[in-house]
Structure 1
Amino acid sequence: WAIAWSTSFFGYAMSVRYPSDAWLLFVFGPFVGGALVTAIVEGRPGLAAFFGRMARWRVGLRWYAVAVLLPPALRLAALGLNVLSGAAIAPDARWPGPPDLLAESLVLSALIAVAEEPGFRGFALPRLLEGRSALAASLVLGALHTVWHLPLLVAGEESPVIVPIIVAGAVVITWLFNHAGGSVLVVMLLHASVDLWVGVFDRLFAPADAAAQTAWLAVAYVASALGLVWRAGPELGRRPGG
């Protein structure tokens, strides 16, 4: 974790001082940290398991569907609640066309997902699940993920409302991770979908209503997490001995 956070914080600090897209490579801190510690502690067998989780694609199609469709579904729910509470879609709002999504959002979202999730869910989550309930492991990882976003929060580039989204999202991701047989590939797909739709929905509103949209999104995530805990229990679908 120290490797991941210090590497990424350094990249962020340098990007502020010397703006360049090259500093984006430092978001690979979790990936590098997870792989490096695994190699040192567990050697080749550990690395085989680490990369094996990233390549685990033989899971049910419904879990791929959940990974792709759940993030936009939650944003649509937040949009509906936002509009019902009085927000108005900006007159000049437009949905980005496929070229915009492919050239910018999709590529960037996939890059960030690959950079982060092998460390968070491929390395940290299996270890946090040892001796803890899946819910407890999720809350711990959600707190660590919040610290990961701390530079952006301090700089004012992200709203504090993102904190409950991150923590509740950790519960949702653990639930998916458990049902997808520990597939980090499916989790990366969900993470990419989460990031992909940020630029789509946020641009639909004026700044004040966009802030309300984020708040309603937090409500949607927390409600989803609570619903999963109520339905699946504190183990979030983890099989005995898993």
Structure 2
Amino acid sequence: MPRISWIQQHRLLAFFILAYAISWSSWPLYAVGLMPRMEFLPIGPLVAAVLVIALAEGRAGFTVWGRRLIRWRVGWIWYAIALLLPALMALVTGFTNIALGAEADGLGDVAWSGLLAAFAVRLVNPMDGPLGEEPGWRGYALPLLQSRRSPLQAAAVLGILVALWHLPLVLFNGLSLIGLPTTFVITFLYVWLFNRTGGSVLLTLLFHNSQGTFTVGSFGFVGSEAARAELIYFVVVVLAVAATLVFDRNAWRTAPASAISALPTTTG
């Protein structure tokens, strides 16, 4: 069939078109007044990966993809980084903001048991960011990108596309505009972690989950102090990425074979 043949020849392009179309599907309905609000669907990248693999790669594609999803045999240090680095970045951001004069009215009220429960729920909810995004962005798109580009180049391309995918959240759901450049920059950390764990989507999913659970919002900042916290967080993420570029240069030159598409690449 011509359509399936086109998808087989342009897997990466087809994936991104579907990921955007599914996640933004309610936008046209909202624009013409048929929906009361824009419903952003984080599950788009996951569904897009399943559809493209089913139409263009078949069983072999699902086997390779599935191995990435459950790759858990990595050193304990990478589990520590995946779980604790996002929390550390949030803490550095929060306490820096406090040092600059911000008041953290909600800090003493943080329910750590509630954060743990939220972490557990988000881990298995495909309608939330970690499970809805990681199998697509890192599990499918990144290995294809790295088949033809260096990890650094692949991270830049993926970062732009993932950031723009979040645009409806800025326009309709109150996400701060600085969230887009922050998303672009933090993509480099996801790529670094993915490659350093031999292409483990499980580890990037844990990182994503931790990032969404431990946020600067836990400090209770409001108004201009909240805006400053978001700016500080952006700087903290930039510094974290810079650290990988300076102290782990080899990670950005060549991706491991297990983090590159094992199936023949095509024009897209």
How does the TM-score come out when normalised to structure 1?
0.87
What is the deviation of 1:43? 1.4
Give yes or no for the alignment of 1:65 onto 2:80. Answer: yes
Which residue pairs with 1:90 in the alignment? 105
The equivalent residue for 2:230 is 214
Residue equivalent to 1:34:
49
How far apart in 2 are the matches of 1:190 and 1:102?
Answer: 14
Q: What is the deviation of 1:95?
A: 0.6
Structure 1 segments unaligned to the other structure (5+ residues): none
What one-letter code is carried by the residue in structure 2 that aligns with 1:60? G
- For 1:73 and 1:181, locate their aligned partners in 2 and report how far apart those are by CA, in whole Å: 24
2:123 and 2:209 in contact (8 A); partners too:
yes
- Residue 122 in structure 1 maps to residue 136 in structure 2: no
CA root-mean-square deviation: 2.6
Quick check: 1:155 aligned with 2:172?
Answer: yes
Measured in 2, the distance between the counterparts of 1:203 and 1:233 equals 34
Q: 1:163 to 1:236 in 2, by over 3 A?
A: same
**Hey, what's the Cα distance between the residues in 1 that align with 2:107 and 2:79?**
34
In structure 2, relative to structure 1, the CA distance for the partners of 1:51 and 1:216 (3 Å cut) is same
Q: Name the CA shift for 1:13/1:217 in 2 (closer, same or farther; >3 Å).
A: farther
**Cα deviation per residue 1:62-86 (whole Å; 9 max; x = unaligned)?**
1111100000100111112212222
Q: Normalized against structure 2, the TM-score is what?
A: 0.79
The alpha carbon displacement at 1:46 in A equals 0.8
1:185 has 2:209 as partner = no
Q: CA deviation at 1:88?
A: 1.8
Q: Equivalents in 2 of 1:206, 1:92: separation in Å?
A: 12
Secondary structure in 1 aligned to 2:176?
coil
Q: 1:178 to 1:101 in 2, by over 3 A?
A: same
Amino acid aligned to 2:79: Y
- Would you tell me which structure has more helix in proportion to its own residues? 1
Amino acid at match of 1:108: R
Q: C-alpha distance in 2, partners of 1:43/1:140?
A: 26
> How far 1:109 moved relative to its partner?
5.8
CA contact (8 A) 1:139 1:167 kept: yes
Gap change, CA 1:240 and 1:194, over 3 Å in 2: closer
Question: Given that residues 109 and 196 in structure 1 are in contact (C-alpha distance below 8 angstroms), is that contact kept between their aligned partners in structure 2?
Answer: no
Partner residue in 1 for 2:214: 197
Aligned-partner Cα distance in 1 for 2:106–2:202:
39
User: Does residue 140 of structure 1 match 2:157?
Assistant: yes
Runs of 4 or more, structure 1, over 4 Å off, are 11-16, 102-106, 237-242
The residue type equivalent to 1:149 in the other structure is H
The alpha carbon displacement at 1:41 in A equals 1.6
Q: Tell which deviates more after alignment, 63-72 or 41-50.
A: 41-50
| Distance change in 2, residues 1:102/1:78 (3 Å) | closer
Of all paired residues, the percent bearing the same amino acid is 32
The CA deviation at 1:223 is 0.8
SS at match of 1:5: helix
Q: Which runs of 5+ in 2 are unaligned?
A: 1-15, 261-268
Q: Which of 89-98 and 122-131 deviates more?
A: 89-98
